[in-house]
Amino acid sequence: MPRPYVLLSVATSVDGYIDDASPQRLLLSNSDDFDRVDQVRAESDAILIGAGTIRADNPRLLVNSDKRRADRVSRGLPEYPLKVTISGSGDLDPAAKFWHHGGAKVAYTTDAGQERLSARLAGLADVVSLGPDIDFGKLLDDLGGRGVKQLMVEGGGSVHTAFLSQGLADEIHLAIAPLLVGDADAPRFLSPASYPGGSSRRMALAEARTIGDVVLLRYLPNLVSIK
């Protein structure tokens, strides 16, 4: 089966920071942009977040629109996209909201984490080992075998970094909010890594549009921009 089309979705401040899930939440998107993200979720077959995002944000990760969920069902799809996470250690809390809302879930882990996670998530998720280490290519192969055609990746930064540095991302949705954070300890969208082509390789810009006071940039990282 072909691998899914991988779409990375993130909102950042003008100076490149993402929400750090602190008690004073940094709300980067506006209501219209949150609705756009909900639409992309509804159009996707699976949504992926890392274990760190589950621990920090405790999200339900749902399609919130009743109409969009009904439209999915009318097309013969599950009401909710498949929810996916990754944990090499298997250190995930079965009480997290992620496991108790929406439809089917898959947790990818390593050989070392599989026993722990299988016991913790019994009846809550399908647990799949990717081998001695997290292999993102194998993860995509497995999702393709499950019929996933589009995978939406919502973070965190280490997950986004892995997909981009390994050349596995097909599209980036980068929403930039008119905020300056200026906190050296706040997380960023991406971590230092060896990215395909290095700093001289220009990605193709597919779209740039305003959504209220937010700017959405859509990049195609596997295509090279023509100057």
Q: How many CB atoms lie within 10 A of CB 131?
A: 10
Q: Tell whether the model's pLDDT for residue 149 goes beyond 70.
A: yes
Model confidence, pTM: 0.95
Beta strands in 87-202 (DSSP E): 105-109, 126-129, 150-153, 171-177
State yes or no: pLDDT of 186 exceeds 90.
no
pLDDT band at 25 (very low <50, low <70, confident <90, very high): low
* pLDDT mean over 92-108: 98
User: What is the rounded average pLDDT of the residues 64-83?
Assistant: 98
Q: Is the pLDDT of residue 36 over 80?
A: yes
Q: Burial, 208: exposed, middle or buried (Cβ in 10 Å; 0-12, 13-18, 19+)? A: exposed
- The answer to whether residues 50 and 14 touch, using CB atoms and an 8 Å cutoff, is no
pLDDT confidence tier of residue 161, bands split at 50, 70 and 90: very high
Residue with tokens 């390789």: 201
Alpha-carbon separation of residue 51 from 60, 94, 164 (angstroms): 13, 12, 18
